[in-house]
Amino acid sequence: MDGEKVSDLIDDLDRNSYSFIYYSKPFDDSEYLASGKLFEIGKTNQKLSELDKIILNFRDNVSAGDLVESIPIFFGYVKFPSTTKEKIWSNFNEVSWFIPQFVIFSRENKLYCVQNFLSSSLQDDLNSKHTVEVQNFIQQLVRKSVTEKASAKIEKISDDDFSNWEKKVVGAVNEIKENKLQKIVLARKVEYKISGKVLWNDIFEKLNSEYPDCMNFLIKSHQDYFFGSSPELLGKFEKDIFRTEALAGSINRGSDEYEDSDLALLLSASKKNKKEHDIVIDHLHDNLQKHLLNIDIDETPLIKRLKNIQHLQTKISGRLKESPKYFQLIDSVFPTPAICGIPTKQSLNELKTLEGFDRGLYSGIVGSFNLSGEAEFFVAIRSALISENKLIAFAGCGIVEESNPDEEFNETELKLQPIISLFNNEDKS
Ligand SMILES: C=C(O[C@@H]1C=C(C(=O)O)C=C[C@H]1O)C(=O)O
């Protein structure tokens, strides 16, 4: 398969599979499409920190020669720990990490297909049965969809309108003034009716070219789809090195380079945004200490400039004290105050009343890992759920004492853009 993109194959797979994950990182030229479930860990109510035991146990049963490097083995997701649970998310587990039967990925402009199979004895090696399976799988992906036309349209049916939002922000600011919280990230949920044909090829062609610095993803489970364009790395394990970032503090884009730079300067000088940002740095620093030997933190935040918005970004890294237990570490930083708040527990409780809905996978985790110390986890923001004839999009922003409801509302509008602009929007309001 020469010169094709993995994203070109999604719609054909979609016709034949009820469960897959696609994700791309245009910034490092990689794309993965993982289909079928051979083995799954997680499921309902599994604590994150308990996953490592299962993974290590699994690893002990894999012969060392089979430990693949630089290709993920497990793909999956974790929901945001909302205390409210809603039916719209019931087609997704709380936590799911699975070994797919097939993975299609690209390297240097070529597509490759990996077939995984579980075998109880070393004698049961690759045989003709497996060759037939992989041939059948590839034959399904005949790219019929490339000639189809996308026609999906959306029409707004319900929204956290401004007055509702204002109440939430004022409520949050009061809690902060009373010292119950330092920061809380409030989100809006906007519902649309969706009609017409969604073509994922098309959607990811757009996201990958317009948001090249994001991790663009799609998770299908049963007949529901969760997708988005995440600018935020939660954590990357590269053998003994761990990397993460604080991404918090936002401002709009300008109409030209000069205005862009002026806005970036304004963002860097803003005390309010610096406070939102520093709270995330401190949280990561404090909770990573037990896992890392040294912690390197950029001295001044960079500007991460996306098509719709600019953010303050501080890169953080360090050497792991021991061989990675991915989820023990992730559990001690997630959910970060970039998407939840500080203190974490109080923020989760407050979200129940202030936000009042189940975030499901929005602001959860999506990513992959292998058994050789390599893993990457992204924060599932700038995202939406498509279920039946509804598209439900989410966007949130950090509230501190100085926050103003109008500005924060506008920030959520900017953050909805990557999703909403993919569709022919019939909302005239
Ligand atoms: C919560 C979201 O974004 C987060 C909040 C940000 C902020 O408050 O400035 C910036 C980046 C993200 O960490 C979202 O996009 O929904």
Higher pLDDT, 70 or 238: 238
Residue 108: inside a domain: yes
Query: What's the confidence (pLDDT) of residue 429?
Result: 44
CA–centroid distance, residue 353 to ligand 1 (Å)? 20
Q: Total domain count for the chain?
A: 1
Q: Kindly report the protein residue whose alpha carbon is nearest to atom 9 of ligand 1.
A: 249
**Cα-to-centroid distance, 159 and ligand 1 (Å):** 19
Q: Cα–Cα distance between 92 and 77 in angstroms, integer?
A: 9
Examine the pLDDT at 49 and tell me if it is beyond 90. Answer: no
Identify the pLDDT of residue 427: 52
Token pair of 80 as six digits: 């945001």
* Residue at 232 is within a domain: yes
pLDDT at 37 over 60: yes
pLDDT, residue 97, reads 96
Asked whether residue 355 is domain-assigned, the answer is: yes
For the CA of 339, the nearest atom of ligand 1: 1
**In this predicted model, what pLDDT tens digit does every residue of 6-36 receive, in sequence order?**
999 999 999 989 999 999 999 999 999 999 9
Query: What average pLDDT score do residues 401-406 get?
Result: 97
CA of 163 to the centre of ligand 1 (A): 21
The answer, yes or no, to whether residue 300 has pLDDT greater than 70, is yes
Q: For ligand 1, atom 5, name the residue with the nearest CA.
A: 397
Using CA atoms, how far apart are residues 255 and 267, in angstroms rounded to an integer? 16
Q: Which domain holds residue 59?
A: 6-425
- For a mutational test of ligand 1's pocket, the pick from 339, 365, 400, i.e. the residue with the most ligand atoms closer than 8 A to its C-beta, is 339
CA-nearest residue for atom 1, ligand 1, is 396
**For the ranges 112-121, 122-131, 140-149, the one whose mean pLDDT is highest:** 112-121
Evaluate the CA torsion angle 418, 98, 128, 57 in order and state its sign: positive
Per-residue pLDDT averaged across 186-213, rounded? 96
**Residue 397: what pLDDT?**
97
Query: For residue 1, is it within any domain?
Result: no
User: What residues are in contact with ligand 1 under a 6 Å CB criterion?
Assistant: 185, 187, 232, 247-250, 276, 311, 338-339, 381-382, 395-398, 415
pLDDT value for 119: 77
| pLDDT for the residue 298 | 96
- Give me the pLDDT at residue 108, please: 78
Average pLDDT, rounded, for the chain: 92
As a whole number, mean pLDDT of residues 228-237 equals: 98
418 Cα to the center of ligand 1, angstroms = 13
Q: What percent of the chain has pLDDT over 90?
A: 78
Q: Is 341 within a domain?
A: yes
Of 146-150, 159-163, 314-318, 361-365, the poorest mean pLDDT is in: 146-150
Q: How many CA atoms lie within 13 A of 220 on its CB side?
A: 21
> Is 226 domain-assigned?
yes
Q: Which residues are catalytic?
A: 183, 232
pLDDT at 428: 45
Preceding peptide of 212 cis, ω within 30°: no
The identity of residue 384, as a single letter, is A
CATH number at residue 253: 3.60.120.10
Q: pLDDT tens-digit profile of 307-342?
A: 999 999 999 999 999 998 999 999 999 999 999 999
Q: Within a domain: residue 374?
A: yes
Q: Which of 415, 417, 420 to mutate to test the pocket of ligand 1 (most atoms within 8 A of CB)?
A: 415
Q: Quick check: 173 pLDDT over 50?
A: yes
Q: Given this model, what pLDDT does residue 75 score?
A: 98
Task: Give me the pLDDT at residue 3, please.
Answer: 55
* Cα 58 to averaged position of ligand 1 atoms, centre (Å): 36
Q: What pTM, to 2 d.p., does this model score? A: 0.96
CA 415 to ligand 1: nearest atom: 15
Neighbour tally for 63: CB within 10 Å: 7
- Considering only 127-141, 161-175, 269-283, 302-316, which range has the smallest mean pLDDT? 127-141
pLDDT value at residue 58: 86
At residue 144, the pLDDT reads 61
Q: Is 297's pLDDT higher than 70?
A: yes
Residue 267 contacts residue 312 (beta carbons within 8 Å)? yes
Ligand 1 binding pocket mutation candidate from 311, 336, 378 (most atoms within 8 A of CB): 311
